[in-house]
Amino acid sequence: MTGVKRPTEKHLMLFTGRAHPELAESVAEIMGVELTQRRLINYANSEIYVRFEESVRGSDAFVIQSHPAPVNEWVMEQLIMVDALKRASAKRITVVAPYYPYARQDKKHLGREPISARLVADLFWAAGADRIMSVDLHTAQIQGFFNGPLDHLTALPVLAEYVASKYDMTDMTVVSPDAGRVRLADTWSDALGAPLAIIHKRHDPNLVNQVAVHEVVGDVAGRTCLLVDDMVDTGGTICQAANALLEYGAKRVICAATHPILSGPAADRLNSTPFEEIIFTNSLPLPAGVHIEKATVLSIAPLLAQAIHEIFEDGSVTNLFHGTFG
């Protein structure tokens, strides 16, 4: 029997899909729990089949699944796993989605658009999930989309500890790549005790993944600039921001982001931009064939393991971050 069984009959079981099993394996190793064996196959017409190889009745089930491309396949796989657990009488089901899918579609920018982040929350609820755990949501309002508890973790302590241990903080400036990331950058600024700068840019709502950098607000000349964001997708925003900082006299530019989506031209853009270092977490697997020359990948497995332990033991997830996030 895999998992941890207690005299109170609480029974923790870990499950993983096929999107990023390495992360789930690291979490399981830290917790001293074996991943529950399952059979996952795709039929010839691409439909997904799931079956667990042992009883899950009465268990506290944690379903770990990252959502890299193809996002829709991995979302559907996790939904089917949740449905299978519900129908097999799992006592409580927690969806562990380090990168929350469709997070950027959290509101309507133009008429006749969907709010897909809310739809994803509704789908997990309908499938039978009791709670969701995610890391560094694109916007905090997503926490209110799910009808049950949503544990919003942050990788900031993992990333900030690495930056503080490697770089001199006396000439460090934390930079927000746009106005939408100011709150995140402000949290970084407090964590590192470094001043804050902001890059003002504007999106054209009719053009996807294209931005125009305008000006840098704050003192960056002669300083080490740390660009912070929750994700890097095509790399357009972060690379234009880095070039703007260098034009304004920055000594060097570092990038720190939780989720390495790295779609399309991201690798070429990041490799051709003179970053000192690009720091990611392993919330998502690096896409096959993608090589970022100056990338450093930090593990969030200890963070997820701690949070899962707190939830299982009815402890406090907030205390993991000293109240920084809810």
Closest CA to 320 of 307, 302, 301: 307
Cβ(159)–Cβ(298) below 8 Å = yes
Residue 324's pLDDT is 46
Range 49-77 average pLDDT: 98
At 51 the pLDDT is 98
The beta strands (E) that lie in the chain are given as 4-5, 11-16, 38-42, 48-52, 60-64, 92-97, 131-135, 150-153, 172-176, 196-203, 211-217, 224-232, 252-260, 277-281, 295-298
- Please state the rounded mean pLDDT for residues 204-227: 79
255 and 243 Cβ atoms separated by less than 8 Å: no
CB 280 within 8 A of CB 305: no
Confidence check: pLDDT of 305 > 50:
yes
Residue in 86, 201, 251, 294 annotated catalytic: 201
- pLDDT tens digits for 233-277? 999 999 999 999 999 999 999 999 999 999 999 999 999 999 999
For the segment 67-76, what is each residue's pLDDT rounded down to a tens digit? 999 999 999 9
Q: Is the pLDDT of residue 29 over 90?
A: yes
Average pLDDT of the segment spanning 27-36: 98
pLDDT tier for residue 3 given thresholds of 50, 70 and 90: confident
Q: Tell me how far apart the alpha carbons of residues 92 and 131 are, in angstroms, rounded to a whole number.
A: 8
Cα 7 to the center of its chain, rounded Å:
35
Residue 18 in this model has a pLDDT that exceeds 70: yes
Would you say residue 129 has pLDDT above 70? yes
Q: Which two tokens stand for residue 190?
A: 């407090």
What are 273's two structure tokens?
A: 């931009």
CA 157 to chain centre: 14
All CATH 3.40.50.2020 domain ranges in the chain, comma separated? 4-154+301-321, 156-298
Residue 239's SS3 state is: helix
Q: Is 201 a catalytic residue?
A: yes
CATH of 156-298, picked from 3.40.50.740, 2.40.37.10, 3.40.50.300, 3.40.50.2020, is: 3.40.50.2020
Residue 288: predicted pLDDT: 92
What pTM was computed for the model?
0.91
pLDDT tens digits, residue range 143-200? 999 999 999 999 999 999 999 999 999 999 999 998 889 999 999 999 999 999 999 8
Domain 4-154+301-321 listed as CATH 3.40.50.2020: yes
Averaged confidence pLDDT in the chain: 93
Q: Which of 4-8, 87-91, 205-209 holds the top average pLDDT?
A: 87-91
Q: Which two tokens stand for residue 181?
A: 């990331």
pLDDT the model gives residue 209:
60
Q: Do residues 314 and 289 make contact, with C-beta atoms less than 8 angstroms apart?
A: no
Measured distance CA(286)–CA(264) in Å, rounded: 13
pLDDT at 7 over 80: no
Q: What pLDDT was estimated at residue 318?
A: 86
